[in-house]
Structure 1
Amino acid sequence: MNKYGRLMKNTVLFAIGTFSSKVLVFLMMPLYTRVLSDADYGKVDLIVQTGNLLLPIVSLGITNAVIRFGLDRSYRKKDVFSTGVITIFTGFALLLLTTPFLLRFPYIANNTVLLYAFVLMSLLRSLCSQMVRSMGMVRLYTFDGIMSTATTIFFNILYLVGFKWGITGYVLAIASSDCLSALLLFSLAKLGRFVRFRNINRATSRAMLKYSIPLIPTTMLWWITNVSDRYLVTGMIDSAANGLYAVAYKIPTIVILVSGIFMDAWQMSAVTENPLERKQFFSNVFGSFKALIFTAASGLILFAKLGTKILVSEAFYPSWKYIPFLIMSTTYSCLVTFMGSVYMVEKKSVLSLVTSAVGAGTNIVLNLILIPKYGVNGAAFATFVSYLVAFVLRAISARRMIRMEWNVPKLIFDTLVLFAQSIILIKEVPYWLLYEIALTLLMVVTNVKSLLLSAKKILRVKN
C-alpha cells in the first residue's frame, strides 16, 4: 500500500472511533438544551473551558511529546511513557496546592472537586490514547472511541435525567467516561509494562520537556483565541448571551471534527515520511485537505438554520446567527493546525508559540473593539481574523522548512465565497436560500478536482 493509501486507511479507522465520540456533541445537544437553561449552559461552559485551560499547565504539554517521541524509533517507549506519567501526576499534585486561589472564582468555588476530576481524567485518557497511537494500535484507538461514546451517553442520561444533577452531572459525565477510557486503554494495550520510576533515560525526558514546554503557552494562547471571547461576552453582555454563543459553536465543530479525524492519521504519516519526499507529499495532502475543509464549511453555512432547528431547543434557536463567522473561524483553525504539523515534524515548538501569541493578541484586541459595537457576532468575527493572521504567519514560516506549494488565489477565492455566504445568511437578504445554494455549488465545483486527484493517488498502489 502506498503512503496515500496508508494515510487514508488510518483516517478511516480514526474516523470510526473519533466520529462516534465527536458526533455525540450533536446527539446530546437536544438533551443539554432542554435540561439546562441558557444561563446554566453558559456557566458549565466556563467550567469546562477553565479545565481545558489547566490541562497544558498541569501536564506541561507532555501528551504532545508522547505522540511525537513515541513515533520516533530512536527513543524507548518505556522512557517516553514513564516521563508522561511522572509529569502528569507531579503537575496534578501542584494543582491541588492552588485550591485557595481557584476558590476566588465564583463559578469554580462550588465545583472545585469536579474541576480536578475533569482535569486528571482528561489527562490520563489523553496520555494513554497518545501512547496507543504511537504504538500503531489504531484499531484499539478506534474501539476506545466507540466505547467512550457509549459510556458518555450512559453517564449523561444517568446524571442529567436520572439523578437530575444539572451542572454537576454535565461535568461528572465527562470525567467518568474519561476514567473508564483510560482504564480500558491502559489494560488492553498493557501500558503498565512501560511504567517505571527508576533508570529513566534523562536525555529523553529532557528532550520531551524541551519540546513540550513551549507548547504550554502555545496551548494557552489558542485557548485565549478560542475562549476569551466567551468570558468577554459574559462580562460585556451576560451569561445568557454566552450560552447562545457556546451553543452556536457546536455546529462549526463539525469542521474541526472532519479535520481532527484526518490530523490524527496525518501526524503519524508526517513524522514517518521520508524527508526527501516531504515537499510533494505535504503539498498534495494540503491541497486536498483544504478543498475538503472549505467544501464542508460551505455546506454547513447553507444548513446552519436547519441544523440549529433540529439540534437545539427553541430557546437556543437564535444562536444560528453566530454560526457563519464561527464556521469561518474553525475553517482557518484547521489550516493553522495543518501548518503546525510542519513544526511538529521539525520539532520547532517555539514557532508554534510565536504564531499563537500573535493570533491570541489579535483576538483580544478585536474582541474589545468589536463586541461593544457588533455584540456577539463581533466576537465571532474577531476569532476568524485571529486565525487568519496566525495561518498566514505559519504558512510563510513553514514553507521555509518544507517548500509546500499552495494556490494563494484559490485560497482567497474560497475565503471570499465563505464570507459572502456568511453575510447573506446573517443579514437574511431576500432569496438568501437561493444565493446560499448557488455559492455552495460553486464551492463544490471549484474544489472537486483536488478531491478527485487525491482519490486517484489513494487508489494507486506501488508496484
Structure 2
Amino acid sequence: MDRYKKLASNTFTFAIGTFSSKILVFLMLPLYTRVLSSAEYGKVDLIVQTCNILIPIVSAGILNAVIRFGLENNTNKKSVFSIGLLTILLGFAVLLILEPILQSIEFISEYTRYIYFFVLMSSLHSLCSNFIRSQEYVRLYAFDGVLRTIMTIIMNIVFLVVLRYGVAGYLLATILSDLISAVMLFFVAKLYKYISLSNINKSIFISMLRYSLPLIPTTISTWIINMSDRYILSYILGSEANGLYAISYKVPTIITIVAGIFMDAWQISAINEHQKGDRGSFFSKVLNVYSSLIFCGASVIITFTKVITKILTSPGFYSSWIYIPVLVMATIFASLASFLGSIYMIHKKSEYILLTTAISAIVNIILNFSLIPVYGIQGAAIATLLSYICMLTIRAISTRKFMSISWNIGKLIINMSVIFTQSIVMLLEVKNWFLYEIVMMLVIALVNIKVLLAGAKRIIQ
C-alpha cells in the first residue's frame, strides 16, 4: 500500500476506536453528575489523577518502548513483549511495598486497593494495546477501543446506577473494562505466544529501559503543563475560577483528540519510513498537511466559540468562552510540538523529549504564578500558550540534528497571524465581530486548501 494511503487508512481506523472512548467522556458526564455528589466526583478526579501519575512510574515508562521497539523489523518481538510484561510486574511489586505511603494520603487511603487494581489493569491493558499497535493490528486496536467503551458504559450503569457503589463503583467500572479488554486482546492476538523469559535479550532490555526511563519525568512534566495551572488557580482565585477554566479547556480538546488519533497512526508510518531511509521528505509533506488541518480546525472553533460554549455548558459556565481562543492557540503549538516529538522517538532520543517538556513545564509554572495574580484566569491560559510556544521553538531547533524538515514559513506566518487576529477580534468583541470571523475563517481555508487537496489526491491516486 502507498505510504500516504497507509497513513490515511490507519488514521481512519484508529479514529473509530479512539473517538468512541473520547466521546465517552462527554456522554457519561450527565450520568456522573447525577449519581455522584460534587464531593464524590472531586474525589474520583483526584484518585484517577493519582493513578495516571503512578502508571508510568510503575511501568518504568516501558509502555512507550514497547511501541518503538516492537515496530522495528529486526527486533525479537517475544523479547519486547516479555520485557514489557516483566517490567510491569516488577514495578507493581515495588508499589505493593509502598502501601503505607498511599495509606497515609487522606483522600485516597480508603481506596488503596482499588488504586492497585486500577494501576495494574490499566498497565496490562496498555501493554497489550501498544503491542498489537506495534504489530500493526490496527483493526483489532480500533475494535478494542469500541469494546472498552461499551464495557465502560455497561459497568458504570451497573455499579453506579443499579448498585449505587459511588466512588468505588466508578473505579470498579474502569478496572473491569480494562481487564476484559486486556483478556480479549491477549487471546485474540495470541499474545501468550510472545511470553518467553528465555527469549529476553539483555541488550534489548537495557536499550528499552534507556529509552523509556526518561519518559517517566516527561509524563510528569506533561502532567504539570496540563494540570499545574488548575491547582495554582484554585490556590490563588478559588475553586470557582478553576471550574470555569476546566470547562473552557474542554473545547480545544477537540483538536487534541484529532491530533492524538493522527499521532497514533503517524508513529507507525514514521518508524517504517525511517527504516526505509527516509530523511525528511515524507515527514515534511505530512507535516504540511497536518498543520493545515490543525489551523483550519482551530479557525472554525474560534469562530464558533460562543455557539459551542452555549451548547455544551449551562448558563452559569457560559462566560468561560472568553478563555477558549487563547487555549485553542496553545493547542495548535502543542500539536505541532507533538509532531516534532516523533522525530526524537524514531531516533530513540527520549532524553530530548524529557528536556524540552521539562523546560516547558518550568516555564508554565513560573508564568502561572506571574500572570494569574495580574490577569486572573486568562493569565493561566496565556501561560499555557507561552509554554507550548517555548516547547515548539526548542524542538524546531533541536530536531535539525536528526532530520531536516522543510517548513512552509510563509504559510505558517499567515496562518498564525490570522488565528491571532481572530482571537483578538473575538476577545474584544469588536462591532460586527462575527462577520470578521467568518471572513478570516475563509482566508484560512483558502491558504490551506491547496495543501489539503494535494494530500487527498495522493491518497486517492
Asked if residue 455 in structure 1 is aligned to residue 418 in structure 2, the reply is: no
**Partner SS, residue 397 of structure 2:** helix
Letter in 1 for 2:259: S
Q: Quick one: distance in 1 between partners of 2:418 and 2:376?
A: 24
- Kindly indicate whether the alpha-carbon contact (under 8 Å) linking 1:245 and 1:376 is maintained by their aligned counterparts in 2: yes
**Per-residue CA distance 1:66-99 (angstroms, 9 max, x = gap):** 0111111211111000110111111122123333
| Residue 111 of structure 1 pairs with residue 115 of structure 2 | no
Give the Å deviation of 1:166. Answer: 4.4
Identity %: 53
Counterpart amino acid of residue 6 in structure 1:
K
CA apart distance, 1:33:
4.6
Instruction: Check conservation: 1:38, 1:240, Cα contact below 8 A.
Output: no
What per-residue deviation string (whole Å, max 9, x for no partner) do you get for residues 198-254 of structure 1? 452111111111111111111111111111112212222333433333333222211
Q: Which moved more, 1:151-160 or 1:50-59?
A: 151-160
* 1:146-157 equivalences in 2 (<5 Å): 146-157=146-157
More divergent stretch after superposition (76-85 vs 153-162)? 153-162
The one of the two structures with greater contact order (alpha-carbon pairs below 8 A, sep at least 6) is 1
Where does residue 25 of structure 1 map in the other structure?
25
RMSD: 2.2
**1:72 & 1:390 partners in 2: Cα distance?**
28
Instruction: Give 1:101 deviation, angstroms.
Output: 2.6
CA distance in 1, matches of 2:261, 2:428: 33
Q: Which residue of 2 aligns with 1:378?
A: 379
**Residues 49 and 227 of structure 1 are in contact (CA less than 8 Å); yes or no, is this contact kept in structure 2?**
no
1:204 equivalent in structure 2 = 204
Amino acid aligned to 2:5: G
Matches within 5 A, 1:206-355: 206-273=206-273, 274-355=275-356
* Whole-angstrom CA distance in 1 between matches of 2:391 and 2:17: 30
CA distance 1:94–1:182, shift in 2 (3 Å):
same
Q: Is the 8 A contact 1:33 1:312 kept in 2?
A: no
| CA–CA separation in structure 2 for the residues paired with 1:310 and 1:165 | 31
- State the TM-score, normalizing by the size of structure 1: 0.93
Q: What SS class does the counterpart of residue 249 from structure 1 fall into?
A: helix
Letter in 2 for 1:61: G
Match in the other structure for 2:400: 399
For this pair of structures, how many residues does the alignment match? 460
Task: Report the residue type matching 1:420 in the other structure.
Answer: T
Distance in structure 1 (CA, Å) of the matches to 2:408 and 2:285: 11
Task: Give, in whole Å, the separation in 1 of the partners of 2:411 and 2:295.
Answer: 11
Q: Distance in 2 between matches of 1:253 and 1:457?
A: 29
Q: Compared with structure 1, are the counterparts of its residues 161 and 241 closer, same or farther at alpha carbon in structure 2 (3 Å cutoff)?
A: farther
TM-score normalised by the chain length of structure 2: 0.93
Match of 1:135 in 2: 135
Q: Name 1:98's counterpart in structure 2.
A: 98
Residue in 1 that maps onto 2:423? 422
TM-aligned CA deviation for residue 382 of structure 1: 0.8
Change (3 A) 1:308 1:110: farther
**Alpha-carbon distance in 2 for matches of 1:422, 1:129:** 39
| Partner residue in 2 for 1:177 | 177
Q: 1:329 to 1:168 in 2, by over 3 A?
A: farther
How big is the shift at 1:305? 2.8
What SS does structure 1 have at the residue aligned with 2:334?
helix
Q: Name the CA distance, whole Å, in 2 between partners of 1:358 and 1:66.
A: 26
Cα drift, residue 353 of structure 1: 1.2
Structure 1 pair 42/433, CA: closer, same or farther in 2 (3 Å)?
A: farther
8 Å Cα contact 1:64-1:212 kept in structure 2: yes
Letter of the 2:21 partner, please give it.
S
Per mean C-alpha deviation after superposition, the further-off stretch among 356-365 and 232-241 is 232-241
Partner of 2:47: 47
Cα distance, 1:255 vs. partner?
Answer: 0.7
Shift of residue 356 of structure 1? Answer: 0.9
- Alpha carbons 1:56, 1:219 under 8 Å: kept: yes
CA deviation vs aligned residue, 1:108-137 (integer Å, no higher than 9, x gap): 334333333332222111111110011121
Aligned to 2:280, the other structure's residue is in SS state helix
Between the aligned partners of 2:17 and 2:211, the Cα distance in structure 1 is 28
Secondary structure of residue in 1 paired with 2:108:
helix
- Aligned to 1:90, the other structure's residue is in SS state helix
Distance (whole Å) between structure 1 residues aligned to residue 429 and residue 118 of structure 2: 41
Are the equivalent residues in 2 in contact too, given 1:366–1:382 (CA < 8 A)?
Answer: yes
- Tell me the amino acid that sits aligned with residue 253 of structure 1: T
Q: 1:372 to 1:333 in 2, by over 3 A?
A: same
Most deviating of 282-291 and 145-154: 145-154
| Distance across 2 between alignment mates of 1:318 and 1:159 | 35
